[in-house]
Structure 1
Amino acid sequence: MEPPKDLEQLHEDVKQRLAVAGHRYTDGRRALVSALATAQRPLTLRDIVSRVPDVPQSSAYRNLEALREGGVVVRISAGGDRSHFELAESLLGHHHHLICVTCGTIEDMRIDGALEAEVDRALTGAAGEAGFTPLRHSLDLYGECSDCGEVA
């Protein structure tokens, strides 16, 4: 996934979202957002702390929670205790995930616009048959990454 084109605009958007949620946009939160924006994939807390060493792990976790509450960050579970964090889809754009069940790595994946539209139509149709009104979708594909698949 490509980093956002205009990092300064991203920071301004995040600042506004946090203000609405009653949170300040501190230097530490700004550093976490920059790390997530430039990562090109969801990151674990350990990954984030290694990219932003000036922010202690406990502070990083608390700040990620404030960013999550503000609609800026989402948590993705890879199973067990493997949580990853990324910027919200409204900031990054619509995408899906490839999740390795062996090592827990998560990669972002975009699909072709025509295929995305077909998936959306199929999901909307299935939901409608069940009397469900969909708002959005996300797809996570579980399997093995190329590193783990080579071991087998």
Structure 2
Amino acid sequence: MSADLLHDDVATMLRAGDHRYTTGRRRVVAALHTAANPVTIPQILEVETSLAQSSVYRNLAILEEVGVVARIVTHDDHARYELAETLTDDHHHHLICTTCGAVSDFELPPKVERTLDAAFAASAAAANFQIDGHRLDLVGSCADCS
């Protein structure tokens, strides 16, 4: 997705949540848009040096609230953040290292995704649960730590 379309969609989502698309929020979104993998707040601050740490925390909370950002919690001190799949049209899953906290993305073949979707739908139906989507995190040790 182009940066212009992304920013238009984010502005719409923020307005729907009664929030403004401030310069600080725009910079946070831009940093997430350019990131190759989910990033920590310190990593966002390395890219957007004009932002204050407290501002990034506040802006990420609002962006998460309106569905712009997804937060990935790991065992270490820093959550990772990425743009929500609804904005990127990039359905993927995560490899989370329990040693160093690194998070990387991976995709499954479409046939495997369809099989998982069917299994999830059956489980949800049995529990009378409505599915909005799914996330799959594999937890273990990355190549550097194993």
Same fold (TM over 0.5): yes
1:73 and 2:72 correspond: no
Match of 1:107 among 104, 114, 117: 104
Q: Which deviations, in whole Å up to 9, do the C-alpha atoms of 1:48-72 show, x marking residues without a partner?
A: 1111111011111111111112211
Given that 2:95 and 2:103 are in contact with CA atoms closer than 8 Å, whether structure 1 keeps it comes out as: yes
- Separation in 2, partners of 1:104, 1:83: 9
Q: State the partner residue of 2:116.
A: 119
Question: Which runs of 5 or more structure 2 residues have no equivalent in the other structure?
Answer: none
> Which structure 2 residues correspond to residues 1-152 of structure 1 after superposition, within 5 A?
5-92=1-88, 93-149=90-146
The alignment-based identity, stated in percent, is 45
- Separation in 2, partners of 1:23, 1:58: 18
Please, what is the CA RMSD of the aligned residues? 1.4
- Separation in 1, partners of 2:20, 2:128: 41
Q: Which deviations, in whole Å up to 9, do the C-alpha atoms of 1:83-132 show, x marking residues without a partner?
A: 11111121123211110000001111111111111111122223333443
Question: Which runs of 5 or more structure 1 residues have no equivalent in the other structure?
Answer: none
- Separation in 1, partners of 2:103, 2:138: 10
SS at structure 2 position matched to 1:86: strand
What's the TM-score once normalised by structure 2's chain length? 0.92
